[in-house]
Each structure stands twice: as C-alpha cells, then as structure tokens.
Structure 1
Amino acid sequence: MVEKKYRSIIKTISWRLTGTIDTIIISFLITGNFSMAFSIGSIEVITKMILYYLHERAWSKINIGRKVLKEDYQI
C-alpha cells in the first residue's frame, strides 16, 4: 500500500486545524486576551503544518508496524 502525497496534505490540514483551535483556546485561557491567543494560533498553524507534512512523509517510508496483506498484491 502506498499513500499519495495529497492524502498527507489533507491529513496535515485537518490535524492542524484541530491543533490550532486547541492552541488558541489554551492561549486564551493563559493570557485572557483573544487577540493574543489568535496571534499565537496564527503563527503556529503555518510552522506546524510544514513540520507535520514532513513528519508524515518520513513515516510513510518507514515500515515499522506495517503488514503486507495478500490482497495488496492483487492487480
């Protein structure tokens, strides 16, 4: 089984949206300032999407915990 790059991109975006909402909420609870919380969330959304995508692509090349099934060989 091979995962296409666009699958990693979709997973990256969905995970990052979840993480960014979490970061904004935590930042707001700590600072009490929605503007500051949104600023923190805005910065980390870009950097963490790039890091997650690279992480996901690296793991797609590692076979730890994968098992090849017979049906994967059928054409």
Structure 2
Amino acid sequence: METRRRSIVKAVIWNIIGLICMSVVGYIGTGSLSVGGVMAVVNAALGLTMYFIYERIWSGIQWGRAPAFADGGAHV
C-alpha cells in the first residue's frame, strides 16, 4: 500500500507535467498567455484533486496485487 505522502508527490509531479502541456495548448488555442495560463491552473487544480482521490481509492483495492510475504520477496 502506498503512503499518503507518496500519493501526493506523484500527483504533484503529474500535475506539473499537465500544467506545462495545458499552458501550451491554452496558448495555442486562445493566442493569449493569460487565458491559457488560467485554463492550465484550473485544469491542474482539478487534475491534482481527482488524481489524488483516484490513487487513494486504488491503494485500498487488493485486486491484481501479488500477495505480500513476510520475507519481503515476491514468490511466484
């Protein structure tokens, strides 16, 4: 299971990538740096929130995980 801190760091890094991409797309689509920037920030805030919730839900789902063993190794 992932820690809350790991989920937050992953979400923030992913959203930085998305912020950059959305800024470029917003600028190309509108021709305005300010409108493109606002679009990117709103998208990043929504994306960060949704990604964090998504990751936390999946961290509690056991389906598809290999069983954990006491010695820490994966036995197949």
TM-score range, shorter chain: 0.7 to 0.9
- Matching residue's letter, 2:43: E
Kindly report which structure 2 residues correspond to 1:47-58, keeping only aligned pairs within 5 A, or say none: 47-58=46-57
User: Tell me, which stretches of 5 or more residues in structure 1 are unaligned?
Assistant: none
The residue that corresponds to 2:8 in the other structure is 9
> Which string of whole-angstrom CA distances, capped at 9 and with x for unpartnered residues, describes residues 12-46 of structure 1?
10001101111111111111111110011111221
Structure showing the higher helix proportion among its residues? 1
Kindly report which structure 2 residues correspond to 1:1-75, keeping only aligned pairs within 5 A, or say none: 2-70=1-69, 73-74=70-71
Give how far 1:69 is off: 4.8
User: Tell me, which stretches of 5 or more residues in structure 2 are unaligned?
Assistant: none
- Structure 1 length normalisation: TM-score? 0.84
- Quick one: distance in 1 between partners of 2:6 and 2:44? 18
* RMSD of equivalent CA atoms: 1.5
- Quick one: distance in 2 between partners of 1:61 and 1:14? 22
- Structure 2 length normalisation: TM-score? 0.83
Structure 1 residue runs of 4+, over 6 Å off? none
- Quick one: distance in 2 between partners of 1:65 and 1:18? 28
